[in-house]
Chain A
Amino acid sequence: MVDLSTNCGGIRSPNPFWLASAPPANSGPQIQRAFDHGWGGAVWKTLGTPIQNVSSRFGGVDYRGLKNIGFNNIELITDRPLESNFREIYETKKKYPKHAVIVSLMVETREQWQDIIKRAIDAGADGLELNFGCPHGMCERGMGSAVGQEPKVNQEITSWAVEYSTVPVLVKLTPNVANIVPHGLAAQRGGAHGVSLINTIKSIIGVDIDRFVPQPFVAGRSTNGGYCGAAVRPIALHMVAALAREPEFRIPISGIGGVTNWRDAVEFMLLGASSVQVCTEVMLRGYRIVEDMIEGLTDYMRDKGFSKLDDMIGKAVPNFTEWGELDLNFETVAKIDANACIGCHLCVVACDDGAHQCIHPAKDSRVPVVDEAECVGCNLCQIVCPVPGCITMAPVDNGFAPATWNDHVHDGKPLRPKKAAH
């Protein structure tokens, strides 16, 4: 039996799949529909002093026919009256008592924070999320990422919120910093019960090359927006993992950034996330994607023998380390499965032009030949190969004991001879 019930910093939900604070979580009717589809929680689109938005607001990055592998927006926080939002929060919680409703907040002064926190909790919020991450528009007004980029300000505002709140407080972090760790620690020092990351990345999503205007197009001009979607997942995974492996950092993480399916969610959880938040994929495909996420996660856990989320959360963190701790004597070479190979020679050109010139066309076959004496095991060929499983990276027993760079420098452990470095 697999139990998906989630506890992220004291916020409980039937599963770890939460809508992120964004357009899909803009209103009560939307969030209630999402819960009907199976979402475990929702972070209400950020409340603050309602703003005026622009047209248009979104942009997508397409790649080789795949639409929107990356996405951005220049939409701001809620533009709806606070009264409507609070009323709908109340109605939603009444109807869905077991689902998590976390209310995202962004205001300026201490008094404003005190007031809006009280109103959110009175409406029934299970938790709060402090939006210290928005990289466009709001930061120009001294909020959002302008707060998240300053650990002292972050800590101070967090401590106000924790003081005024009777429910758990998450701090949403911006990735627009050189190193995420001090910012997570600042939230922790401020008393936060958890952090959520990443918010969006400062970006220009594209340029209209006919009108000479960046996108999205707003009356002949544009501005930087927040980058998100599948393409940002590697950045998000790194930042989540960087906090998860920091010994001083001890509060839970809600992972955000390019989660599109159950596999992505598993990756975040293995690197330390207790819940995941999704926006872009819902904007592109709708709430219905959660069905596959729940099934896929459940089956994965069953296959791996995990009965509860805690069995898997952070399981890959110990294996994330510094470069200097990697075994330099670990050696692999590419092996091509001749039966699976379709003869496209993408590995040949990739190795020739982009790697170490060790995969060569065969004389009387379309199956290329790996010069194993030269192959450095970089795995570019495996990555470009269109046939799953055709190219594998086979470990080579070179007789050298494991040795990291640090081992080598400090203890003089011998390193294997370099390959293809003539």
Chain B
Amino acid sequence: MAKLDPNRSECAFTDFKAPYDRDQAVMEANRCLYCHDAPCVTACPTSIEIPEFIRKISTGNVRGAARTIFDANIHGMSCARVCPVEVLCVGACVHNLQHVPPIQIGKLQRYATDIAYAQRWQFFEAGAATGTSVGLVGAGPASLACAHELRRLGHACTIYEKRAVPGGLDTTGVAPYKMRADQSLDEVEWIMGIGGIELRTGVEVGSRPSWAELQAQHDALFLGFGLGVDTPLSIPGEELAGVWGAVEFIERLKLGKVAVSTVRNAVVVGGGNTAIDAVRELLGLGARTVTMLYRGTEAKMSGYGHEWEAALVEGARALWQALPVAVLGRDRVEGLRCLRVDDDKRPVQGTEFELEADLVLVAIGQAKLGELVAGLPGVGVERGRILVDGEGRTGNAKIWAGGDCTNGGMEVVNASAEGKRAARSIHAALKGGEKGTQGHG
């Protein structure tokens, strides 16, 4: 697997949530009510049997706890760190209704999965070979979860990845105070530990190999190539040095180095989770002031409230209901010209003001890559997203898809769930297909 620079910028960060030691984990586990049909399970896209794994932690059966987690979600380690548990499992904990602190499910999951990684416990074996082969495009969580499940069912898998490093946004996009790139690569290795998953990096599917070649080589395809480049502001001056797409900038700080310590006034444009991550990362890397510039109100931002609260604690500033109309500067960015916007997000003429900025990150969305599949008959695309049904099936009977390229950009846990679900569907289809494997699979 690719080597990472040990001095890359993200290494400046430490965990924002301290891990549990055994005593803390057992004490927290013992608070769990062990609900039946638990709301936390319903809230988890991968339906981890949360009360069960927590009970196992409380009895000292950590190996069993990890098995329960990974059996439902092979990304259990990264999800424990990066899931927005506040709006998923922890948010659904019944303790909230009693105004009692909810169970720290993410931290308990991290406790069990970290031990599993440290102990190198392996829980899964590849199924008996079915003789069928599946090609997966993109090496992010969706494809990895799909491939792992397919291997448990006995299908051969080849993953095609454009980048040098696998793991998708888990590797290149996760806020480093939640998980570092090396931990994501550990996870990829852990998942691939089931054996029989071939990973080809540096491959641009569509040209080499072509879609036709890929279809010829595999009995089924899974598309999990995520999203494309940052959406530009499309305003004058955007080409100036010091103006970055936020996703691109984050990838650079995750895998390489960015110089932020001399930044006096950083501005992040956008109001989503990528924008908040970028704000917190810039603050963590030493930018003196970091301002989020968002055309909506605080109440309407799409980023999670708990993340924004954390950013405020760390010193974030915000300019609500404002819109950049030009990037100012000679050789590099020196400021932004902005307009106020009204409650319907429409610019109000005559409200122009200028904002000093020596670094601008643009976090207003990412390109949808639907056009990539133009050459694939039957695969429907709507507003850049690949259309799939509840099992991840596209309109082409041999092609499935999942993750951000279908859902438009959600959490790792959604991608993992969609990948696994598609694997089940692929398996069902292949069993009944030309190379039928009834009696073997």
User: Which A residues are within 8 Å of any B CB, using their own CB?
Assistant: 64-65, 342-346, 348-349, 361, 366, 386-387
A352 to B, closest residue via Cβ: B36
- Chain A residues in 8 Å Cβ range of B27: 65
If A64-B58, A65-B58 touch, whether A344 touches B30 (CB-CB below 8 Å) is no
From A65, A344, A366, give the contact of B26 (CB < 8 A): A65
Q: Could you tell me the distance in whole angstroms from the C-beta of B93 to the nearest C-beta in chain A?
A: 9
- Complex CA gap A349/B51 in Å reads 13
Q: Ordered nearest first, which 7 A-B pairs have the shortest CB separation?
A: A65-B30, A349-B36, A345-B36, A342-B97, A342-B94, A344-B35, A344-B94
Is there an interface contact between B33 and A386, defined as CB atoms closer than 8 Å?
yes
Q: A64-B58, A386-B33 known; A343 and B94 CB under 8 Å?
A: yes
Measured CA separation A65–B28 after assembly (Å): 9
Shortest Cβ gap from B375 to chain A (Å): 45
A348 to B37 Cα, complex, angstroms: 9
Scoring B27, B35, B39, B98 by chain A CB atoms within 10 A of each residue's CB, the highest score goes to B35
Binding site for A on B (CB under 8 A): 26-27, 29-31, 33-39, 58, 94-95, 97-98
Taking CB as reference atom, which chain A residue is nearest B35? A344
Known interface pairs A342-B97, A343-B94, A387-B98; A64-B30 also in contact (CB < 8 Å)? yes
- Of A64, A344, A345, the most chain B CB neighbours within 10 A belong to A344
> 13 other contacts beyond A345-B37, A346-B35, A348-B37, with CB at 8 A cut-off?
A64-B58, A65-B29, A65-B31, A65-B58, A342-B95, A343-B94, A344-B33, A344-B35, A344-B36, A345-B36, A346-B34, A348-B36, A387-B98
Give the CA-CA distance A346 to B39 in the complex, in Å: 12
| A349→B33 CA distance, assembly (Å) | 12
29 contacts between A and B (CB under 8 A): A64-B30, A64-B58, A65-B27, A65-B29, A65-B30, A65-B58, A342-B94, A342-B95, A342-B97, A342-B98, A343-B35, A343-B39, A343-B97, A344-B33, A344-B35, A344-B36, A344-B38, A344-B94, A345-B38, A346-B33, A346-B34, A346-B35, A348-B36, A348-B37, A361-B37, A366-B39, A386-B33, A386-B98, A387-B98
Please classify the interface of chain A as helix (H, G, I), strand (E, B), loop, or mixed, using the class held by over half of its residues.
loop
Residues of B within 8 A of A387 (CB): 98
What separation, in Å, do the CA atoms of A342 and B29 have in the docked complex?
19
Report the Cα distance A348→B39, complex, angstroms: 14
What is the distance, in angstroms, from A298's C-beta to the closest C-beta of chain B? 31
Q: What is the bound-complex CA distance between A348 and B36, given in angstroms?
A: 8
Task: Give the residue name and chain of the A residue nearest to B30 (CB).
Answer: A65
Nearest B-chain residue to A349, judged by Cβ: B36
Q: How far apart are A241's CB and chain B's nearest CB, in angstroms?
A: 33
Q: Which of B26, B36, B38, B98 has the most CB of A within 10 A?
A: B36
Give complex CA distance A161, B160 in Å. Answer: 92
**Complex CA–CA separation, A343 to B40 (angstroms):** 11
Q: Which residue of B lies closest to A361 (CB)?
A: B37
What residues on B are CB-neighbors of A346 within 8 Å?
33-36
Q: Give A346 to B266 CA distance when docked, in angstroms.
A: 51
Closest to B27 in A: A65
Chain A residues lying within 8 Å of B95, measured Cβ to Cβ, are: 342
